[in-house]
Amino acid sequence: MTSTSRRTLLRAGLVAGGAGFLAACDPSRPDPAIHHGSASPGGPAISDGFVAPDGAEVRAAEAARKPGRARSFRMTATAGPIDLGGRTVNTWSFDGRIPGPPIRVSAGEVVRATLTNRLPAETTLHWHGLALRNNADGVPHLTQPPVAPGAEFTYEFTAAHPGTYWFHPHAGVQLDRGLYAVMIVDDPRETLQYDDEWTVVLDDWLDGVAGTPDAMLAKLQDGPGHGEQGGEGDSEVLGGPGGDVVYPHYLLNGRLPANPETFRARPGSRLRLRLVNAGGDTAFRVALGGHQLTVTHTDGFPVKPVKTDAVVLGMGERYDVLVDLKDGVFPLVALAEGKKGAAFGLVRTGTGTAPKPKVRPAALNGRIVGYDELVPAEAVRLDDREPDQVIQMELTGGTTSYSWGFNGRPLTHDKLAEHLVPIQAGQRIQLDLINSAHMWHPVHLHGHTFAVGSSSGPRKDTVNVRVEDSVSIVFDADNPGLWVLHCHNIYHAESGMMAALGYRR
């Protein structure tokens, strides 16, 4: 993500993309890539010719996952006060905790999760990164009706692939409140050797301190010029502004830097860190003072182990890293990329005075591993194959109008089913993400784990597209249904930067 050679590489990948139609970028012309269905009032649009989220093809794909033992979970989305460590805010959370109670299962097990909605708004749950059955994907008006206040909804799906995942609502800007939690899918044949494990969830925080996320969205959208709230600074890694929103706080596992979480371990032990960015508008640059990190997974999927000083996580991204711990007290710092401030935690293996939250370890300015340096583990590498279809998705919009979209078309959840981009089961698909905007975008595809750049690239479900850069992503259409492609900047997504791919029947 750091090097100019990657840009050249990816541009070459675009040119070499092969045949296939190109979506029109002129919004005034009908788009040949888009299917126009007819909306039915209140419910999802009728999408003739497309696989339904609960269709026979989806049921067959789920059966092929060989569903194992079922595990039941309950979570209640609720409004109320939460202590962030010295400061109590009124916010929305799962079961009064930030992050919410984690879910942990073994690969192949069936998750049966019942959500109770005690919020004053409709909500859903989306299981970020999982290739799951389409009608459990949690996209309102596309894969399910929204869950009304006071109502319950049960999600049931096989967790087929091991890894570090997370879940959050797919409704409005709710994920920029406290509504997020981690889901870990253990590998029954885990080969990684380590002594301890620490899951670290990073977040940018304003709710109950500087208004609400809904008020922020309204402010960003409120006419020309009002979108320019950010401007704290540029990020070399992201190629431009860090984001649109100025946050008063950054949290690590729901805690403010002044009162951090401390992970205790033995000196000489090996720690597996599972890093998750649950932020709304902030990328984080993460380093552990005095240590190198060995990246073993990104977005749940294994890579050939590679050493680095720091990693940068866009919103929605995850990295698993191994660390051989030294003797002492060490700061885990997650710098808000292109912004002011950081999330902060501590690793303690011995005696000594804890470093202060303002500390900035040298490793933050060391080597940052880029996508082009990540090589997928052999078991998850896509086979070499020419794409059957190349789809161009231009990332359009800007902070002035605060209208974002793909190919010049802003879409909201209730309009996705009317504008499906058709794909066919069995195809190798290449999506060219072309960023013409002066803003970076972490682009997330539901239901699939693509390869970044080309078939030999690392497997991921969320990819940062730098300012005025392009990235191709490649995947096999092997999970029938209707799947959202969207920016994981929640303010961009809610301002139109969403699209949906539909499997043709």
Footprint of Cu ion on this chain (CB under 5 A)?
Answer: 441, 487, 489, 492
By beta-carbon proximity to Cu ion, the closer residue of 35 and 168 is 168
By beta-carbon proximity to Cu ion, the closer residue of 357 and 397 is 397
By beta-carbon proximity to Cu ion, the closer residue of 428 and 492 is 492
Q: DSSP string of 224-269?
A: TTTTTT--S-EETTTTEE--S---SEEEETTB-TTS--EEE--TT-
- Is 392 in a helix, a strand, or coil? strand
By beta-carbon proximity to Cu ion, the closer residue of 183 and 439 is 439
Kindly report the number of other CB atoms within 10 A of residue 57's CB atom.
16
By beta-carbon proximity to Cu ion, the closer residue of 249 and 486 is 486
Is 329 in contact with 347 (CB distance < 8 Å)? yes
Kindly report the number of other CB atoms within 10 A of residue 218's CB atom.
13
Please state the closest distance from residue 26 (CB atom) to Cu ion, in A: 21
Which helix (H) or strand (E) is 5 found in, with range?
helix 4-15
Kindly report the number of other CB atoms within 10 A of residue 248's CB atom.
11
Please state the closest distance from residue 471 (CB atom) to Cu ion, in A: 13
Please state the closest distance from residue 499 (CB atom) to Cu ion, in A: 12
Please state the closest distance from residue 452 (CB atom) to Cu ion, in A: 17
Please state the closest distance from residue 399 (CB atom) to Cu ion, in A: 10
- E strand residue ranges, 260-358: 262-264, 270-277, 284-288, 293-298, 301-308, 311-313, 318-324, 329-336, 342-348
Q: Which two tokens stand for residue 262?
A: 């401390």
Please state the closest distance from residue 229 (CB atom) to Cu ion, in A: 15
By beta-carbon proximity to Cu ion, the closer residue of 52 and 336 is 336
Of 280, 292, 185, nearest in space to 230 by CA: 280
Please state the closest distance from residue 156 (CB atom) to Cu ion, in A: 31
Is 463 in contact with 371 (CB distance < 8 Å)? yes
**What are the C-alpha distances in Å from 136 to residues 195, 317, 366, 388?**
34, 21, 41, 28
By beta-carbon proximity to Cu ion, the closer residue of 136 and 238 is 238
Please state the closest distance from residue 487 (CB atom) to Cu ion, in A: 3
Q: Which two tokens stand for residue 321?
A: 């890293």
By beta-carbon proximity to Cu ion, the closer residue of 113 and 171 is 171
By beta-carbon proximity to Cu ion, the closer residue of 346 and 490 is 490
By beta-carbon proximity to Cu ion, the closer residue of 238 and 452 is 238
Please state the closest distance from residue 245 (CB atom) to Cu ion, in A: 12
Is 332 in contact with 286 (CB distance < 8 Å)? yes
Residue 176 pairs in a beta bridge with none
Kindly report the number of other CB atoms within 10 A of residue 20's CB atom.
16
By beta-carbon proximity to Cu ion, the closer residue of 387 and 442 is 442
Please state the closest distance from residue 396 (CB atom) to Cu ion, in A: 10
- Is 139 in a helix, a strand, or coil? coil
Please state the closest distance from residue 443 (CB atom) to Cu ion, in A: 8
Of 290, 354, 351, 355, nearest in space to 324 by CA: 290
By beta-carbon proximity to Cu ion, the closer residue of 256 and 490 is 490
Please state the closest distance from residue 196 (CB atom) to Cu ion, in A: 35
**What are the C-alpha distances in Å from 171 to residues 29, 118, 125, 146?**
30, 14, 8, 8
Pairing of the two strands 470-476 and 428-435: antiparallel
Alpha-carbon distance of 389 to 49, in angstroms, equals 18
Exposure of 439 by Cβ count < 10 A (0-12 exposed, 13-18 middle, 19+ buried)?
Answer: buried
Alpha-carbon distance of 457 to 225, in angstroms, equals 39
Alpha-carbon distance of 44 to 56, in angstroms, equals 18
